[in-house]
Chains A and B, each alone.
Chain A
Amino acid sequence: MTAVVAEHDDHHDHHDHGPEKGVLRWLFTTNHKDIGTMYLVFSLIMFFVGGTMALIIRAELFEPGLQFVDPQFFNSMTTMHALVMVFGAVMPAFVGLANWMIPMMIGAPDMALPRMNNMSFWMLVAGILLMASTLFMEGGAPSAGWTFYPPLVLQTGNAMPFAVFAVHMLGVSSIMGAINVIATIFNMRAPGMTLMKMPLFVWTWLITAFLLIAIMPVFAGAVTMLLTDRFFDTSFFDAAGGGDPVLYQHIFWFFGHPEVYVMILPTFGVASTIIPVFARKPLFGYASMVYATGAIAFLSFIVWSHHMFTVGLPVAGELYFMYATMLIAIPTGVKIFNWTATMWKGAMTFETPMLFSIAFVVLFTLGGFTGLMMSLAPLDFQYHDSYFIVAHFHYTLVPASVFILMAAGYYWLPKWTGHMYNEKIGQLHFWLSAVSVNILFFPQHFLGLAGMPRRIPDYAIQFADWNMVSSIGAFMYGFSQLLFVYIVIDTIRGGTGEKVTDEVWEGASKHGLEWTVPSPAPYHTFSTPPEVIPTEHF
């Protein structure tokens, strides 16, 4: 494979020169690894910003009564926590992984549209800045919930237009990122890297990208209508003018439900990448994984009203959305079966990435089960807007998406930095996280079933005990995450000092192209198309 690389720029040799020096390297970079790093670092910072807000919430809820913050600020915290975590932490973290890994996994020199890649990162920063600036405004940050339901959200103070424009910018950022992923995957694969040979991380991101392009504009449209209802006299969500607040909910959840899959599909992809390596077996049911991902993505567009069972839908609507929602359990079950079957009789070892991945499989299943419970419309009348919902989606997001992000960090850090992380502290981080996350969220199921509503700063006395337990878990979980920061910094600075091989993990090069290039991966990975090594799943 000795393709000639045509050089068009006389002054630079694109493929040998390293990064520029200084801060300008980061501001103007078009390198997928630089941009990936910026995304990952940014999302880690946001993880702690959002985490701090969560700890404010849990501190207030430690005991009944009002302790630390006033209710308005409490509501701002629940709203901003969700927005920061969804748009600032989880989504950008996966975009960061996509930037780093997709070109390496498919044998491409870089992302297809490198300049737009740069812009999409800075749009993200700009959007988050606009959003964060509302914390300091008259009337406080948005406090009507991350869902921005009217008419309540229309009472937001000066923050209102800033929040709307922040959503616009975040939307543009996500769309540009998604377009880049699609163009890269369709157009930049090395010869021989057929679609059905792509690692599942690439597949899940491809499908996620389609979701993003379809839903972010719809969200932008929804908040635009909020803006005009508030400032330009329109009546989209006002019954007196013939509009309907429920209309907003339909539009929002048309975006919102696929949005939760935007956060979980790449999670599935990383899990499907890590588990086979540490089970030393090919992934079980590769093709069914691909189809299941497609099926989940398709279904995610036609189930949105399961968030609205209590708004007064016609019975036919309730039934339809109930059955459609339950269908999602089927492809999801396929995936869980496949991960389990991959581990079955494997020669497993339990390094930190694998530990996080196994915990993901177990705990995500739990979150899926509560989802299935809530998909039963008559039962959801009980669960809706209670802490049960909070428990459900935190199980699908924290011990699932966030655990897998941690797993991805441990798994690829040696490839990114060329150093090995400290396995002992890694495992400590895992066990602390795995135990505390359950102390944190499991009691919230009980609270919800007993009737504690979500998004309130104070509660009846009978909820006291489990809230206290949950808060203790929250602080344990939060502070354990500092270990991860320590490990990342330590690894960048040399880690254990052990020289890592290209392959890093035993047998990994059979599973993915990224393990065939040097560690750390060179600034430009492939200047000539690599030979595609048949991956393990064949």
Chain B
Amino acid sequence: MSTHDAYYIPHKAVWPIMATAGLMLMLAGFANYLNGSSIGPGMMLVGFLAFLVMLGLWFTLQSKESESGMYSHQVGISYRMGMMWFIYSEVMFFGAFFGALWYARNISIPHLGDSGAFSGPGRSTHDILWPAFQAIWPTNGPGNVGGDYEAMGAFGLPFINTMLLLTSGVTCTWAHHGLLAKKRDQLIKGLIATVSLGFLFVTCQAIEYYEAYHEMGLTLGSGIYGSTFFMLTGFHGFHVCVGAIILSVILFRSWRGHFTPENHFAFEAAAWYWHFVDVVWLGLFVFVYLL
């Protein structure tokens, strides 16, 4: 009965409901802010901090329990499954935005511009309002929404960023090998490299955004191209930040001597998340920048 000899049942959880309250306050604050109410930003900040602190306390408790050997093998499997399916839900979340990009490029734009499979008598939708519109990607639409802009090329910062993330994937795996081989030095070095590459990526992306807004006229408001570009890369950038923060925590814990070759769920979860962020970027690089 090896999997059942240690049912682990926590009997009281204070942090989840508090974290939820914080999150709700933050979102209500954000909504108020969007509606132009002056209490919005304050609420948002308080809610965000509360959320963060509660999550922090929750995870501290988890890591203490883990380090004191409270988690059986079975618990470890539950956690792994949880992380796996969480990442899957994230994949579907990105899927919605990739889907929007795909649809715009292959259906709505050709439809608007009377081209490809959508051409033919009675099919075009632009004749009356926008007779001059042609279906060419990238586009900010027949209404030239957001004004003139320049599209983002693939081989500048984006390519460098691709290299940064790919390398960070390698260093992350190298750290994992260090952990498995009980080489704490390698573990810590690998994590430092991964986290640094992650933050470097975010920095490069910030520069890229700055150039887009200030030199290229490319903004979130630049029609469907600007919308999909910033939505996809923005959400991804946000995930890189989160991933890098998680890895920083893992780094801190590794430095404190946490994790053993047998018991290191948190490391694995962070690594999986990081690889996921990595793969999403490859999708972005191909579909947003290259094609």
Contact = CB atoms under 8 A, between A and B. Distances in A.
B4 A3 contact: yes
A254 B103 CA distance: 13
B108 interface: yes
Contact of A179 (B24, B27, B85): B85
B250 to A, nearest CB: 20
Contact of B6 (A1, A8, A119, A244): A8
Interface stretch (B90-98, B159-167, B168-176, B200-208): B90-98
B145 A241 contact: yes
B141 A240 contact: yes
A164 B70 CA distance: 39
Interface in A434-487: none
Given A169-B27, A186-B81, A228-B220, A220 B93 contact: yes
Interface size class of B (residues with CB under 8 A): 35 or more
A243 B10 contact: no
A123 B18 CA distance: 10
A163 to B, nearest CB: 9
Contact of B4 (A9, A119, A191): A191
A133 B90 CA distance: 28
Interface string B90-117: 1011111101100110011101100001
Given A114-B9, A234-B227, A221 B96 contact: yes
Interface in B1-49: 1, 3-17, 19-21, 23-24, 27-28, 30-31, 34-35
A187 B12 contact: no
Nearest to B71: A8
A215 interface: yes
B60 interface: no
A133 B125 CA distance: 40
B34 A119 contact: no
Given A109-B9, A241-B145, A251 B96 contact: yes
A119 B96 contact: no
B100 A242 contact: no
Contact of B81 (A179, A233, A239, A240): A179
Contacts of A224: 96
Contacts of B227: 225, 228, 234-236, 241, 243
B153 interface: no
A39 interface: no
A119 B20 contact: yes
A184 B9 CA distance: 13
B12 A30 contact: yes
A61 interface: no
B254 interface: no
A195 B256 CA distance: 42
Nearest to B135: A242
B281 interface: no
B225 A244 contact: no
B86 interface: yes
A14 B10 CA distance: 8
Contact of B108 (A30, A188, A247): A247
Interface string B128-169: 000000000001111101100000000000000000000000
A348 interface: no
A3 B1 contact: yes
B76 to A, nearest CB: 10
A327 interface: no
A196 interface: no
Given A30-B10, A126-B23, 18 more contacts: A4-B5, A6-B5, A14-B11, A27-B17, A30-B11, A112-B81, A116-B82, A119-B17, A126-B21, A126-B24, A190-B4, A213-B92, A221-B96, A222-B96, A236-B100, A240-B145, A240-B223, A241-B223
Interface of A: 1, 3-6, 8-9, 12, 14-15, 17, 20, 27-31, 109-110, 112-116, 118-119, 122-123, 126, 129-130, 133, 158, 160-162, 164-165, 168-169, 175, 178-180, 182-184, 186-188, 190-191, 213-218, 220-222, 224-225, 227-228, 231-236, 238-244, 246-247, 250-251, 254, 314, 524, 527-529
17 contacts: A28-B13, A29-B12, A114-B9, A115-B10, A115-B13, A119-B20, A158-B35, A164-B31, A179-B89, A180-B82, A187-B78, A221-B93, A228-B227, A239-B142, A241-B143, A242-B223, A251-B100
